[in-house]
Structures are given as C-alpha cells and as structure tokens.
Structure 1
Amino acid sequence: MEETTRITLRLPTDLHEWLAAQAKSARRSLNSEIVHRLETERDAAETDAESP
C-alpha cells in the first residue's frame, strides 16, 4: 500500500461544492477527486518539463 499523509485543507465554499459535484459525477470520493486532479496536473507538469 502506498504511504499517505493526512492534511487539513481549507477551501472556499464554492470550490468545495464544485469539486464535490465533479467527484459525484465521476463516482469518486471527494478525496479521490482531489488526488486524481493533483496527480493529473503533476504528470502534465512533468511532461512539460521534459519537452524541449
């Protein structure tokens, strides 16, 4: 199992509501949705860094 770290995250209410709706439509938990989006952005940033 991957090692995890617990954090407390404060979000504006409208952003929380939007993320919760996105998670529901993707059939993910809010936590999984946030992790998915962060991993996607990280992967894109790594790809951009590798491009000349």
Structure 2
Amino acid sequence: MIKFTLRIPDDLHARLAAQADTDRRSLNSELLHLLEVGLSTVSPETPNRPGGDSASPVQPRGNGHSPRP
C-alpha cells in the first residue's frame, strides 16, 4: 500500500464522512470504494478523459501549489 496526503475542502470531507458512515465503512475504505467504482466506468479507449472525450485533454485546476498566507 502507498500512503499519500490528499487535501480536500471541508465540505467534501463532511460529505465523504457522512457517506462512509451510511455505508458502514471507514473513510479510507469509502474513498477506495468510490475510486474503484469511478475507475470501473472509464472506457479503455478513453482513459483519463472526463465524459469519454479523447479529443480534449484534462486541464489541471490551479497551479498545483497550495495557497500560502
């Protein structure tokens, strides 16, 4: 297993924690489940493309750095 840090907004964390509680899973198990389900719907012909559109690349959000005060 690989460990890594993931920063998410507070509201998304609350939604994920509530869903994990509903599904009687730990937050980690819920995240793994959601990732596996999400990736199982990706077509092999168009991996990593939202909506299966292979012509338009995914644009990264932000500059990849967290804001600093």
TM-score (normalizing by structure 2): 0.61
Match status 1:18 vs 2:15: yes
Match status 1:8 vs 2:31: no
Match status 1:28 vs 2:25: yes
Question: What residue identity is the alignment partner of 1:13?
Answer: D
Structure 2 unaligned blocks of 5 or more: 46-69
TM-score (normalizing by structure 1): 0.80
Question: What residue identity is the alignment partner of 2:29?
Answer: S
Write 1 or 2 for the structure with the bigger share of helix.
Answer: 1
Structure 1 unaligned blocks of 5 or more: none
Cα drift, residue 21 of structure 1: 0.2
Aligned residues between the structures:
45
Choose from 29, 39, 43 the match for 1:42: 39
Runs of 4 or more consecutive aligned structure 1 residues displaced over 4 Å after TM superposition: none
Residues 1-52 of structure 1 show CA distances to partners (whole Å, capped at 9, x for unaligned) of: xxx100111010000000000000000000000000000011111xx336xx
Identity %: 51
